[in-house]
Structure 1
Amino acid sequence: MATVSFAFPGAASAAPCGNPNAGNGSSLPFLPTGSLGSGSGDAPGPTAEGPQGALPKYNDGTSAVLSWVTGPRSPNSTFARFGISGTDLGIAWDNGAGQTLMAFGDTFGDCTVSGKQWRHNVLLRTDDTDLSDGLTIADGVPGDTTSGASVSATAPRYARQMIGAIGWPGVEVTTIPTAAIAIEGKQYVNYMSVRKWGAAGMWDTNFSAIAVSADNGQTWTTEPSTIRVNAPIAVPLPTGWPSVRPNDAKFQQSAYVAGHGADAGWIFQYGTPNGRFGAAYVARFRPSDILDLSAYEYWTGSGWSPNIDSVRRVVGAPVTEVSVAWSEYLGKYVMVDSPLNVHLRTADRPQGPWSLPRFLFPSLISVYAPMMLPSSPALRGTGPELYMNASRWDDYNVLLLRSRLRR
């Protein structure tokens, strides 16, 4: 029998520290770069731990909400253990050695201090491969590149920021990870530089870029040659400089997937414009060329071209934060996003044609940005269960979803 228990959502605006319109898709408090508790900030939340409520109940026999992944009320107790009262996204990928890394967006700690211990993004790690009873994150250990989080000896219970930002509204308010992949022992995160938040679901970006880590996510360095400037002009620049072409706007947010079968040996990057209202496009490259945008090829609707001006959409608008993977269980590529509810598409080839969306979760559970977990049986071919991180608006935290796929 289906179990459903939730409140009707209001406007789709995230509420870190209990402040509506202060998270992903809206505005954020100003904080000087690197600050842990200074800056003007917005008004303090009602408690240090933020607004996280009880886990919403949903189980229709096929899809279910399983547990909180983050937040003070999660089994991982991320406020006490990592200084995380609220965060979102949880983009997940295999680090190439069987460990799952997860990149989160704007992250908040103590809601009663000025600035709320805001970090632009953080990384957590898990060795948990059985998600049927939830997702477990081990403690962070200073200097241990496989521990649950990157922490310092002076603050072992405070997850450190991954990728910095200026932190100035109207210039660069934050940097948000949108996709990640491991290649030959290195970790690559594609992120967007957000200039300003607008109405819910709308924001402006300066550029997207790739940051690289050679130490399993402890430290990150942006490769300047991978910057795609979001501007309606074309500017010829020397090799190694940022790319400035109008169609770079279509790759401000991303998802990565490795090709299978006839597409083996390629990595595919799905791109969408800034915000939650654009279409999806796809590029491909050889793994060794991930940092060389000149080696990318773009789907034109009938073939692949090195000319980004020829790119054509593979999924029509609106496409929100998107996650793409190969499902060994289905023998197809799968794509999930959440423009209204959480839904799934499938395709035999990365460029499609993609199926019509299939409903997984209703809009009433009030989540966004479903991100598939690589240890899911449906992806590994050991069962029908697909597990996803998803972010909840009002609680501004990440929960674990499960849906059983049908062949």
Structure 2
Amino acid sequence: MVVSGAWGAFWGTWSALLPAVLERADATPGELGLVLTAVPVGAMPAMGLIGRIAVGREHRTLLLTAAALALGIVALSGVSGLGGLGIALFLVGAGSGALDVCLNAAAARAERVSGRPLFQAVHAAFPVAVITAAPLTGLARQSGMSIRAVLLLSAAALLGSVLPLLGPAAKDHARRRADPKGPADPHWRSAWLWGAAIGVLGGCVLVVENAVEQWSVLLLEEDKDASVVLASAAPAVYMAALTVSRLVVQRLPRLRTRDLSVLAAVGGCGGFAWAALAPTAESSLAGFAVSGLALGPLMPALLSRAGQQDASGYTVSVVSTVSYGAFLVSPLLVGSLTDWMSLPGALACLASMAVPLLGAAVGARVRPGRGRPRGPREDSRGESRR
């Protein structure tokens, strides 16, 4: 949870720094937007590569990827031109994507070993940190703190968050030396097929989530005649609702993933469509809140389910990688749709993400468990049973 919080704090800090970064780079918003695509471009290959490496080394790779992201943040703090900014953001994206995979793999292993649900709490820490860090960064900027100083503090916080992993990482290394094959022998093809299927469902959730992050403020300002302050509250309202729902579901471990899929399809996508088409800004905010409440628990539940079905943890890495593709698809999809219709209409079209979610819920009822990868189970000491 601490690592997830420090990771979220960086991205909350970065979002609040963007106006200052734009000014320092002496660039147009369009130029900056193009450079920002370096983040997902760096993240996708890193996520694909780190998945196999992390099997059996979850704590060690989490520590190393957090350190790599911190170094990327340090590099980011010292650049100003668009070229250097693009290179630094590529490195930050690679580190962040790899950290995403390793964090989920470590959480999946901790769930298997402890028998306690952890994903909802781990994933709740990220939005809480984003919501907290963004206004604190604004206060730091207002007090005169430089971009470099703020980012260096963020890198230091991230490094500090992984210090408790030094012991578990050493045990991972010793375990790998004693058993080079690792704690489990993943079925690579099955893990990819099953993980990709779950990842597509997670991607449906993240398509909507990314749209809230990128378009909700613009929607409220331009189409709902909201004030700047009221419009800027939209992402925070969504994130706050998402956090609350994850913490609630953490206390209700018996809720099935199938039920959460139905909730996400009906309440999450329905609430988002209402937010897009509502006549007033206040009713749009209510729609975003409903959407966050309904969508929030599904992604952690999907990752938890993948971790339970594959003791190697590799399926979790595949789910993380495939679902991340939503961050590339979502802005392109909304941008393309706005060439044909208004922004509210384009956003409302994203409610179609409910179709695969409902289809998966129906399919799980008809054919539960078919095609899932199964590996050796781990006992309470984290050792595989062969």
Greater Rg, structure 1 or structure 2? 2
Structure having the higher strand fraction is 1
* TM-score where L is the length of structure 1: 0.27
Question: In proportion to residue count, which structure has more helix?
Answer: 2
- Give the TM-score, by structure 2 length: 0.28
Higher relative contact order structure (alpha carbons within 8 Å, sequence separation ≥ 6): 2
